[in-house]
Amino acid sequence: MTSDTLPDIQTEADIKALVDSFYDRVNADPLLGPVFNDVAHVNWAAHLPRMYDFWSGLLLHTNRYQGQPFAKHIPLPIGSGHFQQWLHLFCRTVDALFAGAVAQEAKLRAGNIAHVFETRMRTVNNPLSIL
């Protein structure tokens, strides 16, 4: 399919397809997969539904997600390269499945999340970096 024939993100099924496809890429990625599976020991059966709620809230305004995602990232050995790869995989996933205003919003939101998390991680790991 070309971007002219791809649908936009409109439904819960679209959110599920996006999240599932994205995390398939994450799991296969040599940089991110080990962080999720070997370091964080993500329970995928619990994590994926939370991510459906998270992205549904951001893109479909469902307000089901409850949580503070940043705190779980603090103990992880991640840096700028991890966030860049996460964003790259997310945008590739969106572009492979969807096109339209909500798809663009998804990529913008992901970029903002990556930037904020990377900046906050740098501050947490090196508090003097804000001086």
- The per-residue pLDDT for range 34-52, each reduced to its tens digit, is 999 999 999 999 999 999 9
Q: Answer yes or no: is 47 a known binding residue.
A: yes
Q: pLDDT tens-digit profile of 72-112? A: 888 889 999 999 999 999 999 999 999 999 999 999 999 99
Q: How far apart are CA 85 and CA 99, in angstroms?
A: 21
Question: Exposed, middle or buried, 100 (CB in 10 Å: 0-12/13-18/19+)?
Answer: middle
Host H or E run for residue 95: helix 80-97
- Taken in order of first residue, the domains within the chain and their CATH numbers are 12-126 (1.10.490.10)
The pTM score is 0.91
